[in-house]
Amino acid sequence: MNVNGRHYRTIWIEPSTEVLTIVDQAVLPHRFQTRELFSVEDVARAIRDMHVRGAGLIGATAAYGMWVAARAAARADPGGFRAQMRAAADTLRATRPTASNLAWALERMERALNGQSGPGAVAAARREAEAIADEDAEFCRRIGRHGLGLIEALARDRGGRPVHILTHCNAGWLAFVDYGSALAPVYAAHDAGIAVHVWVDETRPRNQGAALTAWELGRHGVPHDLVADNAGGHLMQHGMVDMVITGADRVTRRGDAANKIGTYLKALAARDNQVPFYVALPSSTLDFSLRDGVAEIPIEERDPAEVRMVDGETGDGRLERVRICPDSTPARNWAFDVTPGRLITGLITERGLCPATEEGVLSLYPEARV
């Protein structure tokens, strides 16, 4: 992503200091700042407290966290290296239960270490973490290319009028290492000169649409409007949405997709109004071990304070948190819901498009038939 004329990834090892560094999403859109992560505890806190978030970026951050842990373990206790690495993996795995990319990245890092210890293991951990980050960015670039064709077809049908796209939560640059999933086709279309406009759901309770997606689209110059979460059905009823594209945090082998809470309702409204509903994801988000997403995908329940409180910037530039309900009101905070594959028009992956069915998924990933 480009910020103030400089290209950033969302996570990187700073060359001058050899310190793991992230774009701190907890202060966006009011501040753009970076944060250094020095320990595996720092990395776990960054994931858990959503200084980084989004399926792909969570996975890449966990991978880099294993490199951070390897450096510390090699210095502190070479003899206990393997035990320390197992403990680090357990700490990172416990941070966010829904996104499949987290466990996928940790398993890949453990395979890369393959029982090594000491400096060799540190070097191997760095190579694999950087490979995961590079792959995440490249897969998202390909998702953009495959999704571009869908937008091009709609643009031809509309005779040059803008293609109106509704999205939910944030599945752009900030949710991955670069490019994004749901927004990658939007950026590709905009860069190709196709007129696009995005309806940005605010995405309560953490307002990732308002805070992050709107910020991204503004930086890229993509026309957009912020709308209340519950406006999507109205927009579809009145022919103001040509397609819906969302991301996902876990997708089963038969195409059921877990995404930010509220996605299922958008899919229901899209089906009722014959609006195409697509889910964009890299293969690291696929969980081939699961079939029934509603029954099998673990749904994270987060701190009720996220529902009871909102963060914002005051008129004099201070960042403040305020309560929006009576002090005695309890709250519940499920972070995700599951959209069954039957409501999804298609999946957009780095290998192309497919129906949200088991046969459709396996047509792109035949290796998962075993």
Q: Give, rounded to a whole angstrom, the gap between the first and last alpha carbons of the chain.
A: 38
Instruction: For residues 164 and 1, give the distance between their C-alpha atoms in angstroms, rounded to a whole number.
Output: 23
Residue 249 a catalytic site member: yes
Tell me phi and psi for residue 197, to 5 degrees: -140, 135
Instruction: For residues 278 and 183, give the distance between their C-alpha atoms in angstroms, rounded to a whole number.
Output: 12
Position of tokens 């409204």?
269
Instruction: For residues 193 and 180, give the distance between their C-alpha atoms in angstroms, rounded to a whole number.
Output: 19
Per DSSP, the three-state class of 11 is strand
Pairing of strands 319-323, 277-280: unpaired
The total of other beta-carbon atoms located within 10 Å of residue 269's CB is 21
Q: Number of C-alpha atoms within 13 angstroms, CB side, residue 40?
A: 24
Catalytic residue selected from 136, 229, 242, 249: 249
DSSP string, 295-315: HHS---B--THHHHEEEEE-T
Q: What DSSP character marks residue 226?
A: E
Tell me phi and psi for residue 294, to 5 degrees: -65, -40
The residues, any chain, with a CB within 8 Å of residue 115's CB and separated by 6 or more, are 82
Contact 344, 338 (CB under 8 A): no
Tell me phi and psi for residue 288, to 5 degrees: -70, -10
The residues, any chain, with a CB within 8 Å of residue 116's CB and separated by 6 or more, are 124
Q: Residue 136 to residues 143, 282, 320: CA-CA distances in angstroms?
A: 11, 7, 34
The residues pairing with 226 across neighbouring beta strands, listed in sequence order, are 200
Instruction: For residues 73 and 82, give the distance between their C-alpha atoms in angstroms, rounded to a whole number.
Output: 9
Q: Which positions are annotated as active-site residues?
A: 249
